[in-house]
Structure 1
Amino acid sequence: MNYFKKILRFAGPYRKYGFLNIFFNILYALFSALSFAALMPMLNVLFGKTEKLMQPPVYQGLGKLEEYFTDYMNYQITQYGGDNPMNGLVIAVVLVLVLFFLKNVFNYLAMYFITFLRNGVLKDIRNKMYEKIVNLPVSYFTEKRKGDVIARITSDVLEIQHSFLSVLELIVREPLTILFTIVVMFLLSAKLTLFVFIFMPIAGMIISRIGKSLKRKSDRVQKEQGEFLSIVEETLGGLRVIKAFNAESRFIKTFKNSTDRFFRFSNTLLNRQNLASPTGEFLGILVIGVLLWFGGRMVLIEQTLDAAAFITYMGLAYNILTPAKAISKASYGVRKGNAAAERVLSILESENPIKDRKDAVSLSEFNHQIELKDVGFKYEDEYVLKNFNLTVPKGHTVALVGQSGSGKSTIANLVARFYDVNEGAILFDGHDIRGVTKKSLRNLIGLVTQDSILFNDTVRNNISLGKEDASQEEIIEAAKVANAHDFIMQLPNGYDTNIGDGGNKLSGGQKQRLSIARAVLKNPPIMILDEATSALDTESERLVQDALEKMMENRTSLVIAHRLSTIQNANSIVVLKRGKIVEQGTHEELMKSKKGYKKLVEMQTLG
């Protein structure tokens, strides 16, 4: 119920639909009971049991309530039917039809209004989850599989709608239908109704026993769904590699193993869930059977109940079965929804360690230097950087070189505050970046990565990502600086061409030049280039390198370099090894020192 309350908070903006649903559900429940009760005067007319009453009956207390109810109905039939029994029958039939019609109208109106609440909550949960996913730090998604996150925002949220929010429909309607029906049953025969109450708790206990393990089984199903969605996502992302290595059969086997587990878990879950309906129905019919025996005894032997009242009573008793079954099914739904809600709320309630402090300042410009002061950082247990110090003065280009795993990309991630340092501090103009708003910090930074991250959109929208209000002239100017304008104009629709998922309609060099154009248009004072030319051929590298040099003019640049030929003009080259600086200086200085950097250059030259 704790998860249910948390999900119910999302219903706040749609409470008016909830109140309208409750109102029409009350009317539905009332008319549901009355429509069956109206069968009694019709049966009395058919059986010739209608007593002609010319005066309205007088209420004589709770003990004579049953007699008052019957006499009142007979009085109404007498008033409108007169001496002709067919008139009385027509009136009784019309009464039954009107009551059943109103019952169904109110049922439709109740469902009509709850639809807005259910779909509104579904929309808001998804929006909130997407907002949370976008705001969570990069580190969160190194621990979670993408497919699992996709499963939570799709199938888990749908499960909440089908289970938890279905309960909202039942929470008023079904209990009230049972309540009103029992009231009418009590009016017809108090003795028989008390007898029913002995059997109902027993039936309820049996049904509740079946559903105890449902949440655990549902949780396994949801997790497995996340697993095979992850496999699909990885397959689509790496299809070329899978085909190149003839690994199709291996991935098909992995996927089949996951869907086999999903098949087994789903079967167990659904079979347990499907047991609720037949069990509930059999127990209901068992109660009806006992009622037939006990009520029949009252009609035939004791003669304390007439036949028309008994038939009406049985109709009312059967009328309880449908809402009772719905309630038992809803209790299964809540258990199943619990597992889905737990997975959704685990994302919504995830603590974001990288957030703005209350006293965070906003930096509008960069004037002096970036300083990494005694920085220590670890992804898990082992430190990647320890007591690391580096200063990047304004207007300077500082290049980071070294073997894979030496900490180059980690430094770039820390400067952009994708991660927070464990020790020490990173200072922009003397301000610890943990005390600066993330938005203002990242407004100062442009990023070009090794993997050109582009989106399934037009060239124009990809370039203007960091500056949505950019004019066409500004976008073209940025593309020209990035040596991208010429190839863009050759595309079918120029700047309005859709470049496909991940920019897959473009070559590697074209994608990289679009990434550079995007950074140029943003026009930040600080540029981070993370191995921006390492994945390119020689001609593309020349074009991209030319674009990078134009972009870095009069900017502060932190360059992570794989190809050392691209950083010879850097103001300072920092050689890293296992998170520590082993050499630092200009290209000429480091070549003269004849240490690690010179060896790296010679190895690449030989290559």
Structure 2
Amino acid sequence: MASVGVIVVLAALLTSIVPFLTQAVFDDALFGEGGPDLGLLGWLVAGMCALPILASMLNIAQNWLTSTIGNSAMADLRSELFAHLQKMELAFFTTTKTGAIQSRLANDVAGVRTVLTDTATSILQNTVTVTAAFISMVILSWELTILTLILMPLFVWLQLKVGRRRQQLARRTQESLSEMTAITEESLSVSGILLAKVFNRSKSEAERYRTANLEQTRLQVEQAMTGRLFFATVQTFFAITPAIIYLFAGFIIAGRLPGDPASLTAGTLVAFTTVQARLQMPLLQLMRVSLDVQTSLALFRRIFEYLDLEPAIVDRPSARDVSPADLQGTIEFRDVWFRYPEPRTLTGETAKDRFGDSAGAIDAESTAQEDAWALSDLSFTIEGGQLAAIVGPSGSGKTTATYLVPRFYDVDRGQVLIDGIDVRDISLSSLADCVGMVTQEPYLFHGTIRENIAYAKPGATPEEIVAAATDANIHDRIMSFPDGYDTVTGERGYRLSGGEKQRIAIARVLLKNPRILILDEATSALDNETERLVQEALERATSGRTTLAIAHRLSTIQNADVIFGLVDGRVVEQGTHAELVDDPDGLYGRLYREQFSTRRPAQDAPHPVGAVGFLRADVCL
């Protein structure tokens, strides 16, 4: 930036010399007292040619420097924003549209490109140019200088008003663009397309996008036209200023207006109008830059609204690292109370800005649940190496409890401990190394199977990847694909079956080799044969590890060392399968009997749902 400043000042000074050379050409070389002086004229013309060439070379160097600085600054801003978002807690992403986040990361940062690449240099360059031109004009004729700049205060006032309007429009335009990005992300994902086709909503989705697109177009046009009349007025004024200068010069020379007629030579008038013409463009650019800065302030605010958000889940100052190899894996919930935090709003953001038309319902739900605890005085212990299962009705807090172990959320009261250490006293990085998770719907990114498995351990060798896949019962299936481990999984793994995705997810967690494993209904959506393969893989995965499993299919947890029954965020019973299954009033016994009852629906009933959750089939293929 220092180099840019030096180049800008030099270029402005070189440009400012040219009008004085022009004055000398007219007054000394062409129309001097002794007649034309061709020698002096040659030197003056050579200088008038050399100075613009040198200024152009300096301008090229300046453009390279400013482009490098600006784009590097923008890259830093993008990287910092992305890295900051990676630190945000899970709750932030559950209450914010993915498309809105993508829009701020891409569109908003791209929107300030001009400010980052050109503005600082433009302000410096044009300020130096305007200052040099003003000084030159005063030296040539202070009377004509006053005439030229008499309306500048009015222009500055109008420009401030236009800038405030464009700033408002810029924010609305970016919010509209965020909405379009969100619609695109939701509707054009594999899941979104599938949903639209199943419910025949393709036309309505296209209409929703068209409506948002039309609003974006309207705002873009309004933003582009705001200030056009102002700039047209300024340009017109500067265009007619030379004619007004000639008129006033004539009145001064004729003695009709005060001033020094002798100072207004032909060379002075030509030089003055030349400087005035050079003043026009820098002044207009300064005004445009000022408007760009005011417009970009809206974008910078949107970017820094995210950067200024402090993550809710952070390391304590005294947090320490732990190693999976050093842990026994004992998990203890001690008097835990927890409720989900209210969605965080950004500066100047309303609920409707974030949630759209559903804001009212969300506000009502937040109010209704303000005093509702997801977990209430929850206490239990899982010894190191045990397989523990949590069962209970939907909404009882099973998944919520597992989210507290890796600190996706923090407890409101009580403690979650691993080997007697409060998880808040363990660094987030090392805690993540100690805890692995397999969810009901595993996430696979668009890449190869090898890349998806190695995500858990980027430096893994091919042998380690194959070993993990073999233990997960997926190696033979992978090798049956034409590209083997280089098979592309597709968006969210949609090219693979549910069982294949689940086993790849298990291979991934096996490669990670955590001390504690959380299974969140990992087999609930699989057929019997696939479930058997996944269950075998899970038995290998849980061997020698502390495992916390959530299961709706009770057949998968009958061998658990301990089973906890949860209702409304509280443990209502615990024990082994043998201890709980025959309790006529117990939660586990009731759930077990509902799932494994052999009662069949009546033959004459119109397709009733049986106790085991099947419909009477008129035909089986």
Matched, 1:370 2:322: no
Matched, 1:603 2:611: no
Residues 273/155 of structure 1: CA separation in 2 closer, same or farther (3 Å cut): farther
Matched, 1:333 2:315: no
Matched, 1:357 2:316: yes
Cα distance, 1:90 vs. partner? 3.6
Cα distance, 1:30 vs. partner? 1.1
| Partner of residue 205, structure 2 | 251
Deviates more, 1:297-306 or 1:238-247: 297-306
Which residue of 5, 8, 20 maps to 2:3? 20
SS of the residue 2:443 aligns to: coil
Which residue of 503, 513, 522 maps to 1:513? 503
Distance in 2 (alpha carbons) for counterparts of 1:201 and 1:427? 68
Name structure 1 gaps, 5 residues minimum. 1-17, 53-82
Cα distance, 1:326 vs. partner? 0.5
Preserved CA contact (<8 Å) 2:158 2:230: no
| Partner of residue 58, structure 1 | none
1:261-276 map, 5 Å? 261-276=215-230
Matched, 1:157 2:148: no
| Partner of residue 306, structure 2 | 347
Letter in 1 for 2:84: K
Distance in 1 (alpha carbons) for counterparts of 2:11 and 2:540? 73
Which residue of 432, 450, 464 maps to 1:474? 464
Residues 265/49 of structure 1: CA separation in 2 closer, same or farther (3 Å cut): same
Matched, 1:316 2:243: no
Preserved CA contact (<8 Å) 1:360 1:437: yes
Which residue of 491, 500, 505 maps to 1:501? 491
1:109-124 map, 5 Å? 109-124=61-76
Distance in 2 (alpha carbons) for counterparts of 1:503 and 1:43? 78
Residues 105/513 of structure 1: CA separation in 2 closer, same or farther (3 Å cut): same
| Partner of residue 352, structure 2 | none
Distance in 1 (alpha carbons) for counterparts of 2:436 and 2:416? 17
| Partner of residue 558, structure 2 | 568
Name structure 2 gaps, 5 residues minimum. 256-260, 343-369, 597-611, 614-621
Deviates more, 1:185-194 or 1:479-488: 185-194
Letter in 2 for 1:413: Y
Preserved CA contact (<8 Å) 1:159 1:337: yes
SS of the residue 2:436 aligns to: strand
Which residue of 376, 379, 390 maps to 1:389? 379
Preserved CA contact (<8 Å) 2:67 2:118: no
| Partner of residue 57, structure 1 | none
Matched, 1:549 2:539: yes
Cα distance, 1:199 vs. partner? 3.1
1:41-440 map, 5 Å? 41-44=24-27, 48-52=30-34, 85-237=37-189, 238-285=192-239, 287-299=241-253, 301=255, 302-364=261-323, 365-367=326-328, 369-379=330-340, 380=342, 381=370, 382-440=372-430
Aligned pairs, number: 559
Normalised by the length of structure 1, the TM-score is 0.88
Preserved CA contact (<8 Å) 1:545 1:566: yes
Cα distance, 1:354 vs. partner? 0.7
| Partner of residue 55, structure 1 | none
Residues 163/277 of structure 1: CA separation in 2 closer, same or farther (3 Å cut): farther
Distance in 1 (alpha carbons) for counterparts of 2:441 and 2:243? 72
SS of the residue 1:367 aligns to: coil
Preserved CA contact (<8 Å) 1:299 1:307: no
Distance in 2 (alpha carbons) for counterparts of 1:39 and 1:562? 90
Letter in 1 for 2:425: G
Cα distance, 1:535 vs. partner? 2.2
Letter in 1 for 2:420: G
Letter in 2 for 1:159: G
Which has the larger helix fraction? 1
Distance in 2 (alpha carbons) for counterparts of 1:84 and 1:511? 90
Cα distance, 1:300 vs. partner? 5.4
Cα distance, 1:280 vs. partner? 2.6
SS of the residue 1:450 aligns to: coil
Residues 289/199 of structure 1: CA separation in 2 closer, same or farther (3 Å cut): farther
Preserved CA contact (<8 Å) 1:376 1:422: yes
Preserved CA contact (<8 Å) 2:329 2:516: no
Letter in 2 for 1:353: A
Normalised by the length of structure 2, the TM-score is 0.86
Preserved CA contact (<8 Å) 2:388 2:549: yes
Cα distance, 1:114 vs. partner? 0.6
SS of the residue 1:374 aligns to: strand
The percent identity for this pair of structures is 33
Distance in 2 (alpha carbons) for counterparts of 1:275 and 1:402? 68
Deviates more, 1:150-159 or 1:533-542: 533-542
